[in-house]
């Protein structure tokens, strides 16, 4: 059992970290104030191969493993977890298209997807279906020319910002077996968006409802087969859960590093506060939790890469454990900064806000526990 990263994996991490520190970190606070990420950044990221991290090399992607991808998201989230998480969403969509779309559809769209001239959003959640995703109601009716969509998607990162939307829709009333996946390009007649959501964190990501009102798409924009969309969506979520956990890990590491520096500089009662044993214990507890989270995440990614039968369970466990750990660590880092941690200038309060949603999306951490418990009961 080898826990060391390979030379190539170390290079992948370093490349992503270097890009993030140069092109994202200096602007993250301004992008948050602006409520948007400049679109010019995405083709630059794609030049590194990050527009199709685990899209097959034959299709023009990077063909990286899920473990490799977690290194990219951990490194980029050290600059800004909001930007890194948006890239994860694009990659989840790109992998779905690479795996399930027809050759004709891929020939039409994948070059722009991989170069990130086309930025993708993932549309599963609806106002009345979150954790119970199979209860989605957006209708997709077959016509002579293709399909007509009617319904609303909620909490969509990139709503009104992205260039295309990978949407899960209902083609029959047969529960999860009645869900299909379609590709909807921006500018399609009948596609519109709600107002921008005013969020606690991830404020640089434009988030809005995606609305379909007699929205007509060609038959060729069906992804894969009718009735297989829920399966496609769930397949993508295992990797998405690893990515969002990696984003928590990277952001929490940034907070912990900043806290170590601050505690060496801040003095109280005549000495730096890192010399007080009670505060040293808190540092040690955070380091222990972070190292445990990192090993757990990489084990889950390895299981997904190797096709282990319990990969979904481990992805759920890692998502729950790592995102809980990340939120706990950044909150403790804010506390150790005292009043300064509450100020935007120190960057810690942004991380507290950004990481809070990681315990909700890609399946709430309560649902992660349901997945784990069901697996345990099934295999007892």
Which parts of the chain sit beneath pLDDT 50? none
The pLDDT value given to residue 135: 87
User: In whole angstroms, how far apart are CA 133 and each of 62, 95, 136, 231, 277?
Assistant: 30, 20, 6, 11, 48
- For the annotated catalytic residues, the residue numbers are 362
Q: What's the pLDDT score for residue 89?
A: 96
d(CA 71, CA 12): 7
Question: What secondary structure, in 3-state letters, does the chain show?
Answer: CCCCCCHHHHHHHHHHHHHHHHHCHHHHHHHHHHCCCCCCHHHHHHCCCCCCCCCCHHHCCCCCCHHHHHHHHHHHHCCCHHHHHHHHHHHHHHHHHHHHCCHHHHHHHHHHHHHCCCCEEEECCECCECCCHHHCCCEEEECCCEEEEEEEEEEEECCCCCCEEEEEEECCCCHHHHEEEEEEECCCCCEEECCCCCCCCCCCCCEEEEEEEEEEEEHHHEECCCCCHHHHHHHHHHHHHHHHHHHHHHHHHHHHHHHHHHHHHCEECCEEHHHCHHHHHHHHHHHHHHHHHHHHHHHHHHHHHHCCCCHHHHHHHHHHHHHHHHHHHHHHHHHHCHHHHHCHHHCHHHHHHHHHHHHCCCCCHHHHHHHHHHHHHHCC
Structure tokens at 350: 């942004």
Check residue 343 and give its pLDDT: 97
pTM higher than 0.75: yes
Q: List pLDDT tens digits, range 10-60.
A: 999 999 999 999 999 999 999 999 999 999 999 999 999 999 999 999 999
């Amino acid at each position: 059992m080898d826990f060391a990263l390979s030379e190539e994996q170390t290079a992948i991490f370093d490349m992503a970290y270097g890009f993030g520190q140069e092109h994202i970190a200096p602007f993250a606070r301004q992008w948050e104030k602006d409520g948007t990420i400049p679109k010019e950044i995405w083709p630059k990221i794609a030049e590194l191969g990050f527009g199709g991290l685990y899209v097959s090399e034959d299709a023009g992607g990077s063909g990286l493993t899920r473990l490799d991808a977690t290194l990219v998201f951990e490194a980029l989230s050290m600059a800004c977890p909001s930007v890194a998480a948006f890239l994860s969403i694009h990659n989840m969509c790109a992998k779905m298209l690479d795996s399930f779309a027809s050759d004709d559809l891929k020939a039409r769209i994948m070059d722009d997807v991989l170069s990130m001239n086309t930025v993708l959003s993932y549309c599963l959640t609806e106002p009345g279906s979150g954790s119970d995703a199979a209860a989605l109601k957006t209708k997709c009716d077959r016509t002579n020319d293709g399909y007509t969509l009617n319904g609303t998607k909620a909490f969509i990162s990139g709503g009104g910002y992205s260039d295309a939307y990978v949407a899960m829709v209902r083609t029959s009333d047969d529960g999860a077996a009645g869900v299909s996946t379609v590709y909807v390009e921006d500018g399609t007649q009948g596609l519109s968006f709600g107002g921008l959501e005013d969020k606690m964190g991830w404020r640089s990501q434009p988030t809005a409802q995606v609305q379909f009102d007699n929205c007509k798409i060609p038959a060729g924009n069906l992804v894969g087969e009718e009735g297989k969309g829920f399966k496609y969506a769930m397949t993508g979520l295992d990797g998405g859960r690893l990515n969002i956990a990696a984003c928590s890990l990277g952001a929490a590491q940034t907070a912990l590093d900043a806290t170590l520096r601050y505690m060496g500089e801040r003095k109280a009662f005549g000495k730096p506060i890192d010399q007080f044993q009670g505060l040293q214990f808190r540092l040690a507890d955070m380091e222990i939790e972070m190292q445990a989270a990192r090993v757990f995440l990489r084990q889950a990614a390895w299981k997904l890469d190797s096709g282990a039968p319990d990969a979904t369970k481990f992805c759920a466990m890692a998502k729950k454990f790592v995102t809980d750990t990340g939120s706990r660590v950044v909150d403790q880092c804010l506390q150790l900064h005292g009043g300064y941690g509450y100020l935007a200038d120190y960057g810690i309060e942004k991380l507290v806000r950004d990481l809070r949603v990681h315990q909700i999306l890609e399946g709430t951490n309560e649902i992660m526990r349901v997945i784990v418990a069901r697996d345990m009961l099934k295999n007892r």
